[in-house]
Structure 1
Amino acid sequence: MGEMSSFQLGVVGALFLSVASSVSIVICNKALMSNLGFPFATTLTSWHLMVTFCTLHTAQRLNFFESKSIDTKTVMLFGILNGVSIGLLNLSLGFNSIGFYQMTKLAIIPFTVLLETLFLNKQFSRKIKFALFLLLVGVGIASVTDLQLNLVGTILSLLAIVTTCVGQILTNTIQKRLNVSSTQLLYQSAPFQAAILFVSGPLVDQFLTKQNVFAFKYSPLVLGFIVLSCLIAVSVNFSTFLVIGKTSPVTYQVLGHLKTCLILGFGYTLLHDPFTERNIIGILIAICGMGLYSFFCTQESKKKQSPDLSLVSQIKEKDATQLLGHPDKESHEAKKSTKDSVV
């Protein structure tokens, strides 16, 4: 019971860290890109990953965690896949309208459910599916505005969905099958993710923004926000691997849509972004969906635990019966022996 409560506390802590860090970095990056005119999102992500690796390397040297070797080919392919998915998401945003990009993000949940059902034999109950559907409808109402389709943008969105889903499923699968922690996996894969984005980032950003990241005039204020963004990103990357490892890719995506609702709320409160009744209705529906998802997951988790507990109690009862049975048998044999000797 102590281990279970400790695990649940760890999950809650990971979820809180993920939400807090993600909302913080979105606000920081919005100020950096919208107010200070720094539009190089992909290159900035490569810097995030480089700082994350350097931070984890320092922590490993100081013995905060033990490095565990993982098959180089597995880590390399995993890191490159995650790096490519980030680049594709940014390209999808560049080639599509904001509304279609939001639809792309919404499609990640049903596609993840489909992949886990087909390839990992994972079962999702009707209640869970209903909660996810309610969540997606709410987020769609709150965030999707216009839907402008084009062939290149649609292909990029499909590729972004596939690579993101596979990357998140592998994040969970690798941690469990190879028995590595989220910190160990992030430490091993971050250099490869950073490398692929460090090479492709400036090209992608120049293609999307028509500006050169190396020709940009970096003022002290811009540099300060970049450093702050990189520091927050360490927490974002760490909590992402932690949440997916402790829960599931679907739960992480549900959490991501909670962040979307919070960011919309913060944008209205702090940045005075336009907010309509449609946004409010959508956010309320999405929160209902998240609440139901959490409630149904907790119920199903308790049902799975109850057979295990009953099995343990049966084993204990059997062991107790055997232990109690031996003295009776010995006593019976002792009595029989005494009777024989008297005779």
Structure 2
Amino acid sequence: MGEMSNFQLGVIGALFLSVASSVSIVICNKALMSNLGFPFATTLTSWHLMVTFCTLHAAQRLNLFVSKSVDLKTVMLFGILNGISIGFLNLSLGFNSIGFYQMTKLAIIPFTVLLETIFLKKQFSSKIKFSLSLLLVGVGIASITDLQLNFVGTILSLLAIITTCVGQILTNTIQKKLNVSSTQLLYQSAPFQAAILFVSGPLVDQMLTKQNVFAYKYSPVVLAFIILSCLIAVSVNFSTFLVIGKTSPVTYQVLGHLKTCLVLGFGYTLLHDPFTGRNILGILIAVFGMGLYSYFCTEENKKKQLASDLPLASQVKDKDSLPLLAGKNVGNQNEENHETKKLSKDSVI
């Protein structure tokens, strides 16, 4: 029970860190791009990842965490895939209307559920699906304004959805299969993500903005906001891997839509963005859907924990009823009990 409580506290801490850092960086980047006129989002993301890697490298040198080597080919492909997904998302935003881009982000949840069901044989209850549907409807009402379709934008959106879903599923799978922490995986993959975006970022940004990032005149205020954005990004990148590793890609996407609602609220409060009754209604529906999702997930986790504890209790009862001559087998049973506890802990979504 103590291990379970610590695990739940760790999950809550990861979720809070993810929400706080993501909302902070959105507000910082919005001020940087909208108010200060720095539109180079993809290049900025490559700088985020470079600073993240340098920070983790310094932490590793200070023995704050132990680096664990992972198969180079796996990490390299994983890092490149995540870098490409960021590029496709930015291109999707550039070639589509805001409304269609929001539809692209909403489509990530059902597509992730579909991929996990087909390839990982993961089962989602009807209650979970209902809460996710309610969440998507609420976010759609709150954030989607117009839907302007075009062929190139649609293709880019599909590629963004596929690469994002696969990247997030792999983040969860690699951490569990290879027994690496979120910090270790981020440390190994960040250089490859940064490299692919550092090379492609200026080209993507020039295609979208018709401006050259290297010809931009950097004022002290712009540089200060870039540095602040990079520092916040360390927390964003770390918490992303932490949340996906401790929960699931679907839960991370649900959390992402909570951030969308919070950004809308903070945008209205701090930046005086336009806000309507439709936004309020959508946010309320989305928050209710998120609450249901959290409740149903908690209930299902309790059932799984109870189901895994039943065999453990029966083993303990059988052990107590053994004759003295069977004492030499107690050590083996204790090892089995330890493994059962470990499995029951790892089975929590």
Q: Which bracket does the TM-score occupy, shorter chain normalised?
A: over 0.9
* Identical-residue share of aligned pairs (%): 84
Q: Deviations over 1:115-151 (max 9, x none)?
A: 0000000000000000000000000000000000000
Q: How does 1:197-276 map to 2 (within 5 A)?
A: 197-276=197-276
2: CA distance between counterparts of 1:206 and 1:300?
A: 48
* In structure 1, distance between residues paired with 2:53 and 2:147: 38
Displacement, 1:326? 7.6
Cα distance in 2, alignment partners of residues 95 and 323 from structure 1: 74
The 5-angstrom pairing of residues 37-76 of structure 1 reads 37-76=37-76
In structure 2, what residue type is equivalent to 1:27? I
Separation of aligned partners in 2, 1:224 and 1:163: 32
Residues 17-43 of structure 1: per-residue CA shift (max 9 Å, x gap): 000000000000000000100000000
**Is 1:20 paired with 2:31?**
no
Q: 1:308 deviation in Å?
A: 1.4
- Extract unaligned runs of 5+ from structure 2: 328-349
Matches of 1:124 and 1:3, distance apart in 2: 26
Paired residues for 1:85-164 under 5 Å? 85-164=85-164
1:300 aligned to 2:295?
no
Shift of 1:323: 5.0
AA at the equivalent of 1:99: G
Deviations 1:290-321 (A, max 9, x none): 00000000000000010111211111111111
State the alpha-carbon separation in 1 of the partners of residues 325 and 299 from structure 2: 39
Map Cα deviations across residues 91-124 of structure 1 (whole Å, 9 max, x no partner). Answer: 0000000000000000000000000000000000
Letter in 2 for 1:255: L
The aligned counterpart of 1:178 is 178
TM-score, normalization: structure 2?
0.93
Partner of 1:315: 315
Runs of 4+ in 1 over 3 A off after TM superposition: 323-327
CA, structure 1 residues 8+323, in 2 after alignment: closer, same or farther (shift >3 Å)? Answer: farther
Counting matched residue pairs gives 327
Alignment correspondent of 1:336: none
AA matched with 2:245: G
CA distance in 1, matches of 2:121, 2:323: 41
Q: Post-superposition shift, 1:325?
A: 9.1
**CA distance in structure 2 between the partners assigned to 1:312 and 1:37 by the alignment:** 61
Deviation string for 1:69-101 (max 9, x for gaps)? 100000000000000000000000000000000
> Quick one: which amino acid aligns to residue 266 of structure 1?
F
Q: TM-score, normalised by structure 1?
A: 0.94
1:31-65 deviations in whole A, cap 9, x for unaligned? 00001000000000000000000000000000000
RMSD: 1.1
Deviations along 1:181-236, whole A, 9 cap, x unmatched?
00000000000000000000000001100001011110111000000000000000
The structure that has the greater radius of gyration is: 1
> Which deviations, in whole Å up to 9, do the C-alpha atoms of 1:256-287 show, x marking residues without a partner?
00000000000011111100000000000000
Change (3 A) 1:73 1:326: closer
Letter paired with 2:263: I
Cα distance in 2, alignment partners of residues 123 and 193 from structure 1: 31
Counterpart amino acid of 1:262?
L
SS at match of 2:127: helix
Gap change, CA 1:16 and 1:323, over 3 Å in 2: farther
Letter in 2 for 1:88: F
3-state secondary structure, aligned to 2:214: helix
Q: Which amino acid aligns with 2:261?
A: C
**Whole-angstrom distance in 1 between the partners of 2:326 and 2:318:** 13
